[in-house]
């Protein structure tokens, strides 16, 4: 087994040693009230909390509260409290899509901009508890919009800018959001994204579904001509002129909602994951500090998009709560060329770099010289997130990008967990390529078999977490029963992650991937049921089944089995039409990689699609189809194998 031991130079710099980790971890699980009571003070409270943990995973009573009688404001913690000490320090370092464009926003400027946007929202009637939807490119105004909402106690719902009008409409309607903040266009890899046009279509669709958006606040990014609805649309630069740069932060209860973030699950409709104020902020800030071994003055870069949870916790809230300089990148890793990440690291002297395995694999394929022609001497810690990282990519990241000078933190977590749960700590944890290593403070992972029996020691099984941590989601927005059903009913009394994992002889955790009908495509989480419902909404499609298959760059690719309506002829043109249709329904991230026309799908006699078989065929591993005796029509399998799209 390849183990990379902590180097002396990492130890010398690190805030915590391995002994510290062990001692802190023990205390965090033996005395959570004492441990979190102390660390809860890392943020500024308006009214200090007197209660720490009040949580229940008991069937019928899923109730999660942390610091419940304390009050605070997240924006004040991310901005105002830094003004005295670091008002002139850069808060957001923005790097544009075009390498000639960048700018630095100080904490003082951030304060003024966020207050202005908060006042602009207030002027349009937004108040505490209202939902504000944010559909933005990676520009500083996206962070202003999140922080402005938090400042006035509104609940933000950020929707990734790559989602389609349909997907945006569903989220506007789901959250009954009266306000949408967007931009004229986005800019990525030299190409424009028609955000305002999409937003208009989304508003039309939402209106037809019965929810009319009242205000659309539009940031000018590219200056393109965009359609305009006078009674509804407002230019940010015009509203900004009239808005005061002073807006007192709203006093929020620790358990008041901070944001909703829609994410995919096993069922068709994305769920609105709800995070609250106090516990989330404490957990995001604390993990940011210790997982990345963040020191004052470090330049920190997370390449995620603010549309995903990683962007929430580790571009905006964690780093800003810690008074860090957080780099925000508008572009993509291969524009103008595949050296871009490493050039940006040199340009801004980045110390901590956090990205996804899919990007690492893609850049690994571009050749070492794209990396080695840059310096990267500023780097101290490298991180990955979003999907399992294969040891080959890990080693390349470690050797070629980091030149064996920087530890890699492989951080496992989820939208639902709010922050990192399983991870090494730089300078404390010996590393094993491909393993997320050990639990963060307060996190108790447990493997269970399919019957729910807990597995001790070296084992492989379904990954659960047995007790609450402060960053945990509190509910599914508007549907607490579904929250219990989704996460606490499979294994009663435990939070079930949906992931499979192994635990080795050193107590190290290895995430093996999802065990439910969620796939992970380029680090984007997707429900196979969502893609299926997009496919069957096409008039020529009668039935569809979607599975993931191993993909060299994306981690998993999307493989679709499609049965056509009576009288429809399969063709290459129709495949293209279906791919375009799914992009239109969900967005480009859901583009099918393979479509196989299937006269029939393998079903049990009770009509249930046997996905296990479809997965095997998609993997070109049909020698191991397993038991097919329960199939209603075993012959359909022969046709699927015969016409499979993936042949090794
Ligand atoms: C996967 C992203 C292996 C996992 C923060 C999880 C990982 C899902 C890792 C959550 C990792 C995330 N190693 N798998 N380091 N990090 N995953 O909600 O399957 O977009 O359940 O949150 O990504 O995806 P989500």
**Tens-place pLDDT, residues 100-125:** 999 999 999 999 999 999 999 999 99
CB 169 within 8 A of CB 138: no
Residue 134, SS3 per DSSP:
strand
**Is residue 269 scored above 90 in pLDDT?**
no
Instruction: For residue 382, report the distance from its CA to the centre of ligand 1, in Å.
Output: 17
Residue nearest to atom 5 of ligand 1 (CA): 414
Instruction: For residue 506, report the distance from its CA to the centre of ligand 1, in Å.
Output: 22
**Is residue 218 scored above 80 in pLDDT?**
yes
Mean pLDDT of 520-528: 93
Return the higher-pLDDT residue of 225 and 648. 225
Mean pLDDT of 230-251: 98
Per-residue pLDDT at 647: 84
Name the pairing type of β-strands 454-455 and 445-448: antiparallel
Q: Which one of 511, 514, 515, 555 would you pick to mutate in the ligand 1 pocket, going by the greatest count of ligand atoms within 8 A of its CB? A: 511
536 carries a ligand binding annotation: yes
Model confidence at 608, in pLDDT bands (50, 70, 90)?
Answer: confident
Instruction: For residue 99, report the distance from its CA to the centre of ligand 1, in Å.
Output: 30
Per-residue pLDDT at 89: 98
CB 157 within 8 A of CB 262: yes
615 carries a ligand binding annotation: no
CB 47 within 8 A of CB 71: yes
Model confidence at 1, in pLDDT bands (50, 70, 90)?
Answer: low
Nearest-angstrom CA–CA distance, 81 and 228: 39
The residues, ordered by sequence, that sit 6+ positions from 231 with a Cβ below 8 Å of its Cβ are none
Q: Which atom of ligand 1 is nearest to the CA of 384?
A: 15
Model confidence at 366, in pLDDT bands (50, 70, 90)?
Answer: very high
CB 48 within 8 A of CB 70: yes
Per-residue pLDDT of 50-94, as tens digits, reads: 999 999 999 999 999 999 999 999 999 999 999 999 999 999 999
Q: Which one of 306, 525, 530, 554 would you pick to mutate in the ligand 1 pocket, going by the greatest count of ligand atoms within 8 A of its CB? A: 525
Mean pLDDT of 583-610: 93
279 carries a ligand binding annotation: no
Instruction: For residue 416, report the distance from its CA to the centre of ligand 1, in Å.
Output: 10
Per-residue pLDDT of 271-329, as tens digits, reads: 999 999 999 999 999 999 999 999 999 999 999 999 999 999 999 999 999 999 999 99
Per-residue pLDDT of 563-576, as tens digits, reads: 999 999 999 999 99
Q: Which one of 387, 393, 473 would you pick to mutate in the ligand 1 pocket, going by the greatest count of ligand atoms within 8 A of its CB? A: 387
SS (H, E, C) 297-363: CCEEEECCCCCCHHHHHHHHHHHHHCCCEEEEECCCCCCCCCCHHHHHHHHHCCCEEEECHHHHHHH
State the burial class of residue 17 (Cβ atoms within 10 Å of its Cβ: 0-12, 13-18, 19+): middle
583 carries a ligand binding annotation: yes
Per-residue pLDDT at 622: 79
Model confidence at 4, in pLDDT bands (50, 70, 90)?
Answer: very high
Q: What is the pTM of this model?
A: 0.97
Length of the chain: 648
Per-residue pLDDT at 482: 96
Instruction: For residue 524, report the distance from its CA to the centre of ligand 1, in Å.
Output: 9
Q: Which atom of ligand 1 is nearest to the CA of 514?
A: 19
Nearest-angstrom CA–CA distance, 182 and 199: 7
Instruction: For residue 553, report the distance from its CA to the centre of ligand 1, in Å.
Output: 16
Instruction: Mark 117-141 as b/e (b = at least 16 C-beta within 10 Å).
Output: bbbbbbeeebeeebbbbbbbbbbbb
Within 6 Å (CB) of ligand 1, which residues are found?
263, 308-310, 385-388, 410-415, 436, 497-499, 511, 513-514, 520, 525
Per-residue pLDDT of 123-178, as tens digits, reads: 999 999 999 999 999 999 999 999 999 999 999 999 999 999 999 999 999 999 99
Token pair 């791919």 is at which residue?
579
Per-residue pLDDT of 376-435, as tens digits, reads: 999 999 999 999 999 999 999 999 999 999 999 999 999 999 999 999 999 999 999 999
CB 565 within 8 A of CB 542: yes
CA 373 to chain centre: 31
Per-residue pLDDT at 179: 98
Q: Which atom of ligand 1 is nearest to the CA of 518?
A: 19
Q: Mean pLDDT for the chain?
A: 96
């Amino acid at each position: 087994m390849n183990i990379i031991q902590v180097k002396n130079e990492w130890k010398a710099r690190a805030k915590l040693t391995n002994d510290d980790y062990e001692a802190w971890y023990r205390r965090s699980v033996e005395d959570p009230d004492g441990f979190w009571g102390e660390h809860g003070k890392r943020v500024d409270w308006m009214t200090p909390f007197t209660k720490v943990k009040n949580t229940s995973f008991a069937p019928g009573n899923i109730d999660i509260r942390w610091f419940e009688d304390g009050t605070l404001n997240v924006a004040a913690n991310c901005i105002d409290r830094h003004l005295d000490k670091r008002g002139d320090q850069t808060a957001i370092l923005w790097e544009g899509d075009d390498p000639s464009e960048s700018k630095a926003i100080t904490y003082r400027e951030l304060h003024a901009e966020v207050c202005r946007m908060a006042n602009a929202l207030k002027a349009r009637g937004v108040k505490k508890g209202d939902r504000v939807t944010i559909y933005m490119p990676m520009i500083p105004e996206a962070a202003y919009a999140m922080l402005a909402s938090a400042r006035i106690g509104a609940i933000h719902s950020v929707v990734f800018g790559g989602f389609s009008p349909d997907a945006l409409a569903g989220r506007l309607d789901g959250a009954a959001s009266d306000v949408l903040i967007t931009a004229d266009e986005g800019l990525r890899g030299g190409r424009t994204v028609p955000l305002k046009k999409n937003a208009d279509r989304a508003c039309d669709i939402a209106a037809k579904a019965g929810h009319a958006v009242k205000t659309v606040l539009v940031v000018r990014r590219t200056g393109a001509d965009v359609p305009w609805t006078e009674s509804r649309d407002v230019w940010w630069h015009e509203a900004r002129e009239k808005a005061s740069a002073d807006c007192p932060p709203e006093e929020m209860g620790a358990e008041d909602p901070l944001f909703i973030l829609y994410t995919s699950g096993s069922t068709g409709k994305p769920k609105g994951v709800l995070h609250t104020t106090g516990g989330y902020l404490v957990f995001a800030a604390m993990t940011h500090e210790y997982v990345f071994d963040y020191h004052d003055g470090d330049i920190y870069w997370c390449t995620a998009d603010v549309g995903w949870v990683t962007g929430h916790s580790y571009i905006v809230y964690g780093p800003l709560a810690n008074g860090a300089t957080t780099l925000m990148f508008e572009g993509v890793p291969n524009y103008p060329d595949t050296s871009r990440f490493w050039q940006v690291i040199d340009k801004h002297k980045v110390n901590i770099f956090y990205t996804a395995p899919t990007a690492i694999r893609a850049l690994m394929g571009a050749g070492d010289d794209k990396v080695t022609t840059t310096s990267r001497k500023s780097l101290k810690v490298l991180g990955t997130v979003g999907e399992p990282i294969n040891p080959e990519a890990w080693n390349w990241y470690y050797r070629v990008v980091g030149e064996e000078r920087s530890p890699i933190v492989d951080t496992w977590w989820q939208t639902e967990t709010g922050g990192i749960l399983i991870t090494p700590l730089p300078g404390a944890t010996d590393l094993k390529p491909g393993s997320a290593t050990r639990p963060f403070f307060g996190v108790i992972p447990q493997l269970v078999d399919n019957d729910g029996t807990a597995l001790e020691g070296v084992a492989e099984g379904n990954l659960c977490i047995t007790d609450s941590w402060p960053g945990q989601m509190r509910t599914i927005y508007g549907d607490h029963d579904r929250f219990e059903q989704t996460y606490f009913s499979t294994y009663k009394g435990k939070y079930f992650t949906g992931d499979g994992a192994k635990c080795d002889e050193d107590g190290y955790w290895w995430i093996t991937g999802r065990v439910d009908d969620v796939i992970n495509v380029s680090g984007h989480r997707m429900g196979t049921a969502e893609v299926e419902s997009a496919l069957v909404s096409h008039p020529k499609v009668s039935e569809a089944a979607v599975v993931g298959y191993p993909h060299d760059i994306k981690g998993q690719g999307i493989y679709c089995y499609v049965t056509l309506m009576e009288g429809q002829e399969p063709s290459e043109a129709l495949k293209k039409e279906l791919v375009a249709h799914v992009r239109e329904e969900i967005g480009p991230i859901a583009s099918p990689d393979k479509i196989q026309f299937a006269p029939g799908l393998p079903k049990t006699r009770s009509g249930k699609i046997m996905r296990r078989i479809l997965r095997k065929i998609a993997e070109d591993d049909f020698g191991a189809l397993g038991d097919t005796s329960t199939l209603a029509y075993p012959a359909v399998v022969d046709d699927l194998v015969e016409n499979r799209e993936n042949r090794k």
